[in-house]
Amino acid sequence: MMNNQVSVISIQFCPKIGYRERNLNKVKELIENNIHLKPDLIVLPEFFNTGVSSVEFKKLAESDDDSPTIKFLAEIAKEYNTYILAGSIVEKDGDKLYNTSRLLDRRGETIAKYRKIHLFDSFGGTEHEYISYGKDYTVAQTDFGKIGLATCFDIRFPLHFTELIKRGAEIIILPAAWVKPHEKLAMGTENWKVLNRARAVDNISYFISSGLCGKMDSTKGLSGHSMIVDPAGKVLADAGEDEGIASAILDMNIVREMRSQFDIKRFTGLTE
């Protein structure tokens, strides 16, 4: 029987660059401090285990065959009977690196993997210089509905989310390391907030983001503001700028009722 009431925790924190074990223990602490919320889904930010550093990405990249981060989180998923979006970590595959998110089920098994498609290669971003582009859109079935995956800069590309809706996504998850306003970057916190709400409304879906906060380096800060937005664009939770969580109960009946009143197929091109 499908669960229609879904408890969600979105984790927000400032990882210490290059200190994987320390960062994983911080994630565990934040989860344990909020486990009374009995989450069905826990969402983690982009680069949560390493921080944002091209040097550390190369040193700490993990493969499917040997991923200490996924092994660590799998134990938490099993212990607390929850899904976890481990998003994202740097994945090593041969001589290439990918910015990869993995969705773990309640048994700690990986049920979906998404490699970031739209790398941050604009407004001065250089992610494409050390990370390879992903190609495939990813949607996973859970016991409460279908989840579509995206990462950070993907949020600027509406057609990405159209593809997820075509594949049945009712919840969209987006881990991020979104940069605050900066003299060389046409980004910023206000853009981030607008885009979270827009993607929820565009797609008549719940939209869950999980962002880093604090400092990325000596010149750039990270926006934080991990958010949970309902299909009408109402912000159910916003973690603000500091370490902590955003949490909410998702009512999956709302998505299904709204979609029954609006032919979403008309803008997705979805056919029977």
Spans of all domains in the chain? 5-262
Q: Tokens 């919840």 appear where?
A: 171
How many Cβ atoms are within 10 Å of 188's Cβ, its own excluded?
A: 15
- Backbone phi, then psi, for 156, in 5-degree steps? -80, 0
Determine how β-strand 41-43 pairs with β-strand 5-12: parallel
Burial of 127 (0-12, 13-18, 19+ CB in 10 A): buried
**195 or 266, which is more confident:** 195
Active site residue 21: no
**Alpha-carbon span 76 to 168, nearest angstrom:** 28
- Burial (0-12, 13-18, 19+ Cβ within 10 Å), 17: middle
Q: Which of 116, 180, 193, 220 is catalytic?
A: 116
pLDDT at res. 66? 85
Determine which one of 14, 26, 91, 152 is catalytic: 152
Q: Is 38 in the active site? A: no
Q: What per-residue confidence (pLDDT) applies to 267?
A: 63
Residue of 46, 91, 127, 170 marked catalytic? 46
pLDDT band at residue 272, thresholds of 50, 70 and 90?
very low
User: Model-level pTM greater than 0.85?
Assistant: yes
Q: How confident is the model at residue 54, as a pLDDT?
A: 86
Angle CA 58–60–62, to nearest 5: 100
CATH class of the structural domain 5-262:
alpha beta
Q: Is 116 among the catalytic positions?
A: yes
